Amino acid sequence: MVDIVHRIAVKGIAPETVSDAVATRAGIASWWIGETSGDDAVGGTLDFGADIVATVVERRTERVSWQVKEGPQEWIGTHITFDIRQDGDWTVVLFKHEGWAEPVEFMHHCSTKWGVFMLSLKQYLETGTGSPTPHDTLIDNWS
């Protein structure tokens, strides 16, 4: 099992609000990829713009999950999942990008990059402004 995992939390923001930011086209465009289009309902196909296309597998307040259909070779067939729950005054997001065949160097890159986007999600929820592509923090020579 080779997975990318992350954890962030936001204070005083309801799980429903966090889940909508994660799951809706408008939300995704505010913290991950600015040009996201497609259908964000269960069974729908989301086109994230940067040649990444995924099917919406689950969309509940507690869990949002996509399966990648098109994108970088190493991403095809992988699952991207957000588990969302309340913990006192906080709402916690557990992120997982699972199903990588091997822990290749590109996976190291994607792990750091997902961390950057998790911070962008947190910033979007807390301030109303995230840093989606192409306004994301550059981490290395692969962007």
Interface ranges with its own copies (CB under 8 A): 1-9, 11, 87-88, 90, 92, 94-96, 103, 105, 107-109, 111-112, 115-116, 118-119, 122, 137, 139-142
Whole-angstrom Cα Rg for the chain: 14
Shortest spacing between CB 36 and its own copies, in angstroms: 22
Shortest spacing between CB 11 and its own copies, in angstroms: 7
Instruction: Give 43 or 140: the residue with its C-beta nearer to its own copies.
Output: 140
Contact in structure between 64 and 81 (CB atoms under 8 Å): yes
Whole-angstrom distance, CA of residue 61 vs CA of residue 74: 28
Instruction: Give 4 or 46: the residue with its C-beta nearer to its own copies.
Output: 4
Shortest spacing between CB 117 and its own copies, in angstroms: 10
Residue with tokens 């309340």: 86
Instruction: Give 43 or 88: the residue with its C-beta nearer to its own copies.
Output: 88
The SS3 assignment for 135 reads: coil
User: At what angle are helices 15-23 and 105-127 packed, to 10 degrees?
Assistant: 130
